[in-house]
Chains A and B, each alone.
Chain A
Amino acid sequence: MKGIALVMFSVLLVTACSKDDNNNAVQPLNELRATDIIADTIIGFSATGQPFGSGKFTFFSLENNRVVPSSDSNSNKWDIGFRGTTIITNSGVSGPGNGGGFVQVGTFEDLKTIAADSVFRTDLSPSNLAIPAGSNRAWFVYNPLANLVTPIPGRVLVIRTALGKFAKVEILNYYKGGVTPLATASDDDKIRKQRYYTFRFMVQPDGSKKLSN
């Protein structure tokens, strides 16, 4: 797991006290960024030339902003997991938690509060996940001509953590160092550098659906 760098972004503090600030002082929410989260990188090629990884998910805790060892996969310590382009939530068939999620069209900044009537999906089966797997269905699109995976702009993953808190995630890049190889790069380069997630996220620790300061 070396090479993982977790970078924290400083967020402008809202200087004025909010008016609906009724009881205890509200902590300003931090926008956090995770880079190069390895998601089952390719370790070999099958006889037919298809690349494959070890098949294991990388588990990540949004609440604690860190990668969780796979030994804790059957716990509430992680919120989302990555394997290739597949993203799971700690819910249903994927984990014991109270997680879930859905994809919202819009910008990360525009999602200030999760709509009261929004429905959180859970991972019902490996082919029916809260964040649907597959190209052009949820967060990414795969271009077979360029052989590149690109996160679709304007897609926010709205996540319920294992402990039932709310968070928002925007996947920024799928390649090492947060830089997508050029379409003209070699297939070898594209395969070696893929499955490294860069994403930004924000968690509301107070249990409310408010995701902005």
Chain B
Amino acid sequence: MKLSITLLGFFCFFSANAQDDSTFNSQLDEVVVTATRSERKLSNVAVPTSIIQGKRIAQSGSLRLNDILGEQTGLFITESFGKGLQMQGLSADYTLILLNGEPLIGRMGGVIDLSRIAVGNIRKIEIVKGPSSSLYGSEALAGVINIITDQPAADRLSASIRYGRFNTLDASVNGSIKRGKFSASGFVNSNSSEGYTLLPGSVQKTVEPFWRFTNQFQAAYDFSDKTKLSASLRYNLEDITNSITVQNLGQNIVSAGSEVNKDLNFNPVLSHQISSRIKTQFRGYISRFQSVQQLDVKDAVVSYHDEFNQQFYRIENQTDLVFSDKFNMNVGGGYIHEGVSSNRYDSLSTQRSNNIGYAFVQTEWLPIERLSIIGGMRFDANQAYASVLSPKLALRYRITEKMSFTGSVGRGFKAPDFRQLYLNFTNVAAGSYSVFGSLVAQDEIKVLVANNQIDNLTPSFYKLADLSPETSTGINVGFHYNPVQSLSFKLNAFRNDIDNLILTDVIAFKKNGGQIFSYLNISRALTQGLEAEANWKKGSLDLTAGYQFLLTADKDVLDDINEGKVFTRDLETGISRRITRSEYAGLPNRSKHMANLRIFYEWKNTGWFATARAIWRSKWGTTDIDGNGVINREDEFAPGFVQLNLSAGKNLRNGLRLMAGVDNVFNYKDVVNLPGQPGYNWYLTVGYDFMNKHKH
């Protein structure tokens, strides 16, 4: 143990990530690590899991993580606070995003902006749906996305450059080197665009010009077959031009500046095979995130500076024990120290922090050959909020060689974030409203009462309490059928019941009329649905069709509807009447139907490939217009749409790669509801592989 830690420190700079040190045969049966935190064949996993291969990401012309995830069954990209991911009908806040098994930090408004993540060096993306807090702790309510980057292997060097609409320029260099026991790899990417305007003549661009710069380096040293050290270092910079025009009393107030987001991740890993039955892995992780918005207001002396700093430090051990062919176990534990400072919480010099100790255990038992049962649980003991126990039980039963059944039930949780605990924000411009975190609200109100600034306190003020984590219970029941080798069908029914949802509520009114908000565990919701996917792989063709049916609801609204407390108005007569259960569209921004069709074709021995990917979303609720608290009227929906993306390319024998594509061929735009959709988008890519020439 002592030796291990010394080695860990010593080799920090020569390491690489080792989570994905599996050898796998993608043709026969892919290996996943995310579902069980250990290598498993995809066909043996008991929870809904899918894999996106790096090759498909490249052929799809994806640049950022949201590009490729938005084309997968049951997922779609939300557009508040950057590009977020909605999974099983749950908001972006509730999906854990891992990079080589380590959580990405820097959630703004609860969302990790997926466009911060370049995909040029991704070997595969694993998607696990359903609560996975029994293994991963907080945020894994809806599921887990694990981005697994290229591992250092043979000597490789490649570069590519792409140019597209809106002056979008994307350039990458990707390489790796292997010398005996030592290997290393590096990836550098620059991505920029001049942005676009959806409303001609508007003062401000819909998407402002930006530049993103990603560096990622990995190194590994194999002491022996049994002992391996690796580390990865990633630095990400994002610089977004800001030019904001606010109308105040008929005058335009122009401010200009930038928003700069920085990500730093460092992840050393030491793994050791103690015996044929015991393997242990020590992991360290340091991540820092900074977001700074600096605006110079025209004709104003003081500039606007908004800063948010987050740090996340973690050490962890996981040990995998194989007792017999029929019984194995993973045990682990770790310690997290996380902190934030922001001028939105008191001042930049006040560091808010939280410490979390956790332990988890998972066992897999195969009582008979056809059946595997996986049970696991994790305990997170937190300093800043209540502790959480997250159990999970899953099983897989092979009905025949071609058919299998999976079922799982688990608990997920999301810890209150620092914003919900410590925010101290007053917007003087927009009606002088304030938002106070739950841990500071009472003290702040006391001060305001003493200063005679409070008009009245609402009943919610008296409900202010220590926030509890938001929790969910998720059930997934699946059926898999492979009638022939080339054809597979997957069906999964899911239901998530979420309790203790944290929402803002008015706790007091100021004498000047301004409202004061704080955070309370006040809401309950449910999402349920059915996901189906069919895949046909025959020779050069890979065709996938996917569909998700989704129903969501705020449970308190359901109770109100059942009690006859929710009304609607007949649009013709204008007469009010009670709403029925079937008229309630559920949570906003959820489409009842989503479907996709993805075709990949590779011409044998020529290096040519072509892809067509179509995505359909049915109408979704946007806002409650008539004040009845629910979305039900036809004018409260955004229209559904189809998006078709095409790409084609050729890999030449001399190492040259050429590719062209058009996303959103039908040029679908919805200025109001889809500001992140600029319409059609063409691009051309040229790449060159310096060492590994293409084999056809």
Contact = CB atoms under 8 A, between A and B. Distances in A.
A172 B626 contact: no
A172 B573 CA distance: 8
A178 B574 contact: yes
Contacts, number: 64
A173 B568 CA distance: 13
A143 B575 contact: no
B249 A48 contact: yes
A136 B574 contact: no
Given A152-B626, A154-B628, A198 B574 contact: yes
A120 B628 CA distance: 24
A108 B578 CA distance: 11
Interface in B439-462: none
Interface in A32-67: 46-49
Interface residues of A, number: 30
B422 to A, nearest CB: 29
A145 B628 contact: no
Interface in A125-156: 135-136, 140-141, 143, 145-146, 148, 150-155
A183 interface: yes
Given A170-B576, A172-B575, A153 B628 contact: yes
A146 B623 CA distance: 10
A65 to B, nearest CB: 18
A93 interface: no
Nearest to A182: B635
A101 to B, nearest CB: 18
A146 B250 contact: no
Q: Is the interface of B mostly helix, strand, loop or mixed?
A: loop
Interface string B619-647: 00001111110000001000000000000
Given A48-B249, A153-B568, A153-B569, A173 B627 contact: no
A152 B625 contact: no
Contact of B627 (A141, A178, A200): A141
B625 A150 contact: yes
B247 to A, nearest CB: 8
Given A105-B565, A170-B576, A152 B627 contact: yes
A67 to B, nearest CB: 20
B577 interface: yes
Nearest to A152: B627
A151 B569 contact: yes
A141 B626 contact: yes
Contacts of A150: 625-627
Contact of A107 (B576, B623, B626): B576
Contacts of A183: 625, 635
B567 interface: yes
Contacts of B628: 152-154
A182 B565 CA distance: 27
B597 interface: no
Interface string A94-127: 0000000000011110000000000000000000
A129 to B, nearest CB: 15
Interface string B573-602: 011111000000000000000000000000
A47 B250 contact: yes
Nearest to B627: A141
A150 B628 CA distance: 10
Contacts of A145: 623, 672
Interface string B169-209: 00000000000000000000000000000000000000000
7 contacts: A107-B567, A145-B672, A151-B574, A152-B626, A153-B577, A153-B628, A154-B578
Q: Which 8 A-B pairs have the closest CB atoms?
A: A154-B567, A48-B250, A141-B627, A172-B574, A153-B567, A152-B627, A153-B569, A153-B576
Interface of B: 249-251, 565-569, 574-578, 623-628, 635, 672
Given A141-B624, A153-B567, A172-B575, 13 more contacts: A48-B250, A105-B565, A106-B567, A107-B576, A108-B575, A136-B627, A151-B574, A152-B626, A152-B628, A154-B566, A154-B576, A170-B576, A183-B635
